[in-house]
Amino acid sequence: MTCNHVVTPFAFEHTFQAASVADVFAAYFDPTLQTEADRRVEIVERSVLELEDHGDRLRRVTRVVPRRQLPVFVRPLVTGKLHYVETATWRRRDDEIDIEIRPSMLGGRAVITALYRLSRVGSGLIHRRYQGSVSVDVALFSSRIERGIVADFERSMPITAACTQAWLERSSRSVSAQA
């Protein structure tokens, strides 16, 4: 992709109350949590296209269909129903997930790349940093579309973080009850 503009960066941080980094990664890949978070951020369909576990690396490719409509100025540039393909590659040794999101709109001229990193910051505290950039290569509209995508992240990140924290708390209680 050749871009003649500056990409739009983003960074979102959250600290979870969790016993370990592994617990937060378990939440990230839990299908029940994913279904609940999707419902809350208005994702109407998510299907796993690929799932490969190579021990040190887990790669999941999903096709995601959001409920939201595109802004009016973008609709003429899109054919078919909006969806995106998300590739998440968890590098277990590094406690990081590389993420690439390719929206169906604009014939491949839009991409979101991010790094999801977890680190212990205290007893029972796990810090998440989700940092990346949005790049749209469309004359005149690039910055506006990129800002819209980042605004959508700003809206959905607190919702998914709350879902994750609730999952961690339920998970912790069920482990305590079994002990």
Contact (Cβ atoms closer than 8 angstroms) between residue 80 and residue 58:
no
**Which strands make up the sheet holding 57-66, listed edge to edge?**
8-17, 125-136, 110-122, 96-103, 84-91, 57-66, 43-53
d(CA 137, CA 110): 6
pLDDT digits (tens, 9 = 90+) for 89-103: 999 999 999 999 998
Residue type at 64 in one-letter notation: V
- Total-model pTM: 0.83
Helices (H), the chain: 21-28, 31-40, 142-178
In tens digits, the chain (179 residues) has pLDDT values of: 444 566 899 999 999 999 999 999 999 999 999 999 999 999 999 999 999 999 999 999 999 998 876 666 566 666 667 889 999 999 999 999 999 999 887 677 789 999 999 999 999 999 999 999 999 887 666 777 788 788 888 989 999 999 999 999 988 765 444 44
Q: Tokens 């609940």 sit at which residue? A: 36
Which residues have C-beta within 8 Å of that of residue 50, sequence separation ≥ 6?
Answer: 59, 60, 61
Strand, coil or helix: 37: helix
pLDDT of residue 179: 43
pLDDT of residue 94: 96
